A and B are shown apart, each in its own frame.
Chain A
Amino acid sequence: MGATYGQTSAIIQGRAFPPMQSRSITAQMRMDGITVNVIAEDGAIICTCPRQSVRFDDPIGSAPRRATLPDGTLFETTDHKTVESAFGDTPGSIIHKLERLHPRMVGFIAVAIAATWVIWRYGLDILAAGALAITPPQVVDAIDAGTLQTIDFVIAVPTQSTAEERAIAQGVFDTLLATLDDDIRAAHDFRLEFRAMPGLGPNALALPGGTVIMTDEFMRLFPSEDIQAGVLAHEIGHVVEQHGLRQLYRSVGIAVLVALIAGDTVPIVEEILLEGNVLLSLTFSRRSENEADEFGVDLAQQAGYDPAGLITFFDWLQDEMGDTSSWLSTHPSSAERVDRLRALTEAQ
């Protein structure tokens, strides 16, 4: 004992279990040169094998070390020192050394916290971008078609707008699309749909594949091309920035990461983290709205419309709905958005 690895002989006290049997036999492992013998208390040889065929399992804490010998015999010992000196390190020994209680663990905690922040801030976006890149466009189109059917079934009725009203909106939509870069336009299947949605009021919404729905109520209340351009450009922004799918991938990513990292911890921690995830996804949602606002103002202006159109819409929304936004909302408050947009349009 106490010799360095490479020694030619060693005796390790322990016990042996015959292959696939629970019978425990007090035994010792003797290493002589290139041969290893496992010998029972009464001197009977249980197993003989070449030294290089003996592989001890990775050490974990101070639990007994185990080696399964070529004939299936299991040898177990608590003599960690001799196993290490006679058979050396296993691939997992590095981890075992890392795990030893040591002041460096304060550093571990710091790195873990920093890495969590980096993953949350950048990692999820990168993962979502990767998933977006390999999403087949057919699936996205199918999501649009299916969602539109559901909307028709649940909340929408066929449009009662006049052909004239539709022509105005379609004209604005086409002008905005013509302003987009060719490759961006080609990447999505842009389409404007008209529906009456009494439950939704004056509004427009975008589906991930490029279908934009405008309500009759919106066209009636806001015949102004500038306002329509502001709102439609905002919806086009959601499509181009792929906010819908991105959010879907982000939430799957967070759910999996939380399960993998906190899964082994007390169940309550996982619940708290997932609840926190809802709040985080709301932040993401508000961020998306702001991004779409910026995109929309830009696009509307490039297409030759008054970028203040969107502001007029939000002013109206604020008067109508009041301001109730907070960290529990999917959208930033209208007042906040108007302020941001004013700053944006004035800067241009």
Chain B
Amino acid sequence: MAIKTAAPDTAQFEFRGRTGEWFGIWITNLLLTIVTIGIYSAWAKVRAKKYFYQNTYVAGRNFDYHATGLQILIGRLIFVAGLVVFSLLSSIPVVGLVMIIGLLFLIPWLLVRSIRFNAIMSSWSNVRFGFDGQPGNAFMVFMLYPVLTAFTLYLAAPFADRAQRRFVINNHRLGKAPFAFDSGIGAFYKAFFAAIGWVILMTVIFLTLSGTTVFMLISDPEALERNPQAAFSIIAGFYLYAFVAFFPAATIYQAFIRNTIFNGSMLDGKHQFVSNVKPLQLVWIAISNVFVVIFTLGLMLPWAQIRIARYNAVHTQLKAGGSLDDFVGKIEAQGGALGDAYTDIEAVDIGLPI
């Protein structure tokens, strides 16, 4: 076999999934999940993850996801039982308070378990990922820092975000090869202000278009009660404003951060990543996806998901600084899927932009 170790080799990320195929899997997942009152969701998750992982290639080698439906189901059952007990006990006022304090410490532990579980259940080119983050550090970056940024009127939020990304990425491994991420704070502020800039722009546009109505409301709040028709259109207008202002802002932020993270990450000290997604293109994709999905009552969702996966893959490369044949796996201690159930059911975003 030829030995290729010379100049950095650029390997393109590829997504080979197809809309029709994914639609069939998706609708079957949905149907079986509903008729089994949610139990099949564990297997549905595995099939969905496997489909997207196995169809994502770098340098001609794909990813894979190895958790079984039963593992996921057990994690979810334990989590739901805990959730029921928690909701019941928090109806007792004092106990509820104690439990909320307990949650502050439980959540970082669950988060770390979730990231670890997902890492060791994922592989690329036959080598499993790993994660070594500790709950103590997770408590700092996920619980403490966000609270502290509140005292800076969230102006320090980019610092907290960078700390979270560092924690997540720097504790990841591919087998024994560590990931390393660092970036100046400037890139995070750029993303932050771009998102805020969008919100301000949309607010100005909205006030200009509906200015008289809003000012009339402020000066004469009782006008609403006299005219319920107007009240309805104002509520609708407010939702529209929230949608065009905040949803794209979040997309813009994520796009900038994705580029920052990939471009600032290194694997095993020699392989680099490149991401060049365009924030406004992603805004267009995200907004048009939402409209298409809504107007087809959800049926085009698989199409929208494939579209995003393709876009992301096309805009991502690996600059290999050596042979990709040298990664070696590590025997990982197994862990249950309880943390994974937590991040799934509570829809927690860990912030890995893969």
Contact = CB atoms under 8 A, between A and B. Distances in A.
B34 to A, nearest CB: 5
Given A63-B50, A119-B37, A146-B91, 16 more contacts: A18-B126, A20-B328, A22-B326, A23-B326, A24-B61, A74-B126, A99-B25, A108-B28, A142-B95, A249-B84, A256-B38, A256-B345, A263-B41, A264-B48, A265-B301, A266-B290
Contacts of B60: 24
Nearest to A62: B21
B51 A63 contact: yes
Interface of B: 1, 16-18, 20-25, 27-31, 33-35, 37-38, 41, 43-45, 47-48, 50-51, 54-55, 60-62, 64, 76, 80, 83-84, 87-89, 91-95, 124-128, 175, 247, 289-290, 293, 298-299, 301, 304, 324-330, 344-347
A266 B51 contact: no
A115 B34 contact: yes
Contact of B127 (A22, A25, A98, A127): A22
A257 interface: yes
Interface residues of A, number: 60
Given A21-B126, A74-B126, A123 B84 contact: no
Contacts of A163: none
A111 B35 contact: yes
Contacts of B45: 264
A95 B28 CA distance: 8
Label chain B's interface by main secondary structure. helix
Contacts of B126: 17-18, 20-22, 24, 74
B127 A63 contact: no
Contact of B54 (A60, A98, A269): A60
A150 B93 CA distance: 7
Nearest to A269: B298
Contact of A64 (B47, B54, B247, B289): B54
Contacts of B301: 265-266
A22 B324 contact: yes
23 contacts: A17-B126, A21-B127, A21-B329, A22-B127, A22-B175, A25-B1, A60-B25, A62-B18, A95-B28, A95-B47, A112-B27, A112-B35, A115-B31, A115-B34, A127-B37, A139-B88, A150-B93, A248-B91, A257-B37, A257-B38, A259-B344, A263-B344, A265-B301
A135 B88 contact: yes
Nearest to A141: B92
A101 interface: yes
A21 B20 contact: no
A105 B47 CA distance: 18
Nearest first, the 10 A-B pairs at minimum CB distance are A20-B329, A17-B126, A63-B54, A22-B327, A146-B92, A22-B125, A23-B325, A260-B41, A260-B38, A99-B24
